[in-house]
Structure 1
Amino acid sequence: MKLSREIKTGIIVVAGIVAFIFGLSYLKSSPLFENNKTFYAVYDNVGGLQPGTQVSINGFNVGNITDIRFKDDSGKLLVTLTVNNDFEFSENSIAELFDTGIIGGKAVQIVPVFDKAPIAKSGDTLQSKIKPGITELVQQKLTPLQMKIEGAVSHADTLLMNFNQILDDPTKKQLQQTIASLNEVVTSFKGSADNLNLLLDNNKMQLDSSLKNVSHITSNFSKLSDSLVNSDLGGTLTEFKTTVNKLNSILAKIESGEGTLGKLQKDDALYDNLAEASKELDLLLQDFRLNPKRYVNVSVFGKKQKEYTLPENDPAEQLDSIQQKENQ
């Protein structure tokens, strides 16, 4: 069968179009013309993440989700991410799944890590992480609070039950009597307060005068304290301390028997001699007072001096007798 020129031309055109499509597909799959990288992340639950969702780095869109499928029989989900080649990061970077808003869906952001690890290459599986959303955070905070409130309510119910058991009829009567007594006490206090206010009103002038006197006394005391500060009280105390130390030193020497006073205190013989001399001087003065002629004899106009006659109970003889007794 002979084909016409038009049929041949049509076949050639169709074959060229098919060849162009297959060639373009081949060139797209070639790394030479590829401008994107493909990464993978594994999650236990993607929370409604949809293919086509954008992938961001630091809030900037750099790619999208191309595929979500089960990884194996464990039920974990394998998410395929396509990211452009404009930004490089470490293979230790994290693919974080997060909420886009309260009523929004899920999205993935890459948390780049810049360490000395190799740069992430197309086909690598990144570390995955799920960031709690606002709803989950609120639930996490409210759950302990809810448990505490439930526990408090339960304790309150128990307390009220115990309180009702305690408040029997006699106890209620006693409480009523106690409240009535408290009312009387409050009334009495109120009367006392009224009387005190009346007393203060009647003696306001005297109180003002007393307060002025107290202020005057305080002012004088302040001046006295200033005078004491300016009078070198510290130096005076230092001199007084020095004097006391010297006095203590003198008393210590007397106590140890040093000096005249110390010997007088310690030497009993010296004390006895002084006591004896005092007695003799006393007797001598007494005899001189009673018998002055015994010691002083004045002759007027050459008159012959009378001989002295010892009186009875002569103090000197008594002194001699005492000395003789002591010597024996």
Structure 2
Amino acid sequence: MSKELKTGIIAVIIIGISIWGFNFLKGQNLLDSGSRTFKVEYARIGGLSESSAVTINGLKVGKVDNIEFDTSVEKRGHLLVTFIIDNAFEFSKRSIVKIYSPNPLSGSNLAIIPDYEGDMAISGDLLQGEMEESLFTSIGERLNPLQQKIERVIVRTDTLFGGLNKVLSDNTINGINTSIANLSATIIDIRKTIESVNSMVADNQENLKITIENTRNITANFSKVSENINAVDFKKIIDKADEAVGNFNEMSKKINAGEGTIGQLLNDKRMYDNLEAATGELEQLLRDIKLNPKRYIHFSVFGKRQLPYAEKIKN
């Protein structure tokens, strides 16, 4: 026999033993040809799971093999449980398969309550199922989902701590330590600043009191000024101002209408021309007095006769 053939035979034997051992650990003996399979239907299973034990009168005779939903229209949502019995114990089709919980710390199991009247049950039959309503069953029904949640939380916690371990490397820890040291130094500086501010406030406390007192006096003076302003009769002042404006408007109307001296002076062109002519003659007279003062002012001690006025002829 060649080495390759021996190696192949040994490999096949190892694979076969592995398959048998795996199923044996699951509670299924492949070498036992007396195994029978039954099905039972429930509206709810109360924490029952695959590999749960199947007992008859307290003796374990098999295990739950599969749990699936019923796909029929009439019983949609119901659960179809398939279990395997390795024991050759006989019972009728009228036997009841009840879900029960042996203790509050474990899941639910199946208990076959055997009946011996009628036809005997054969592999593949659908048996009648019931749910045992008890404290253990209720607690077990709630513990199974809780156990699954706790397992998921543990897995996530382990993942979280793994991520933290990756994040908290030596460089990161050194950076955190440096940041904490800087924060401590900053807090010390803040304390020093606060102490300086407190010292400054203590040194200038008297000045602050004086400043506050002055502020009070200023506020009081503003209050007095406000009272005086409130005491002023603004309506009377406004009425007088309105009256004065009305009088000025009336006077303007009269001036524009030519009434009175100012109105005639502003609106009568002849008076304006006469006034302008008189102003010109007066200007000539003043200029002549300035140029020939002897014509108008004469002093004589001996009584000399004044010469007649003769108009100077311009060249």
> The TM-score by the shorter chain falls in which range?
0.3 to 0.5
TM-score between both structures, scaled by the size of structure 2? 0.35
TM-score for both structures, normalised by structure 1: 0.33
Larger relative contact order (Cα-Cα within 8 Å, sequence gap ≥ 6): 2
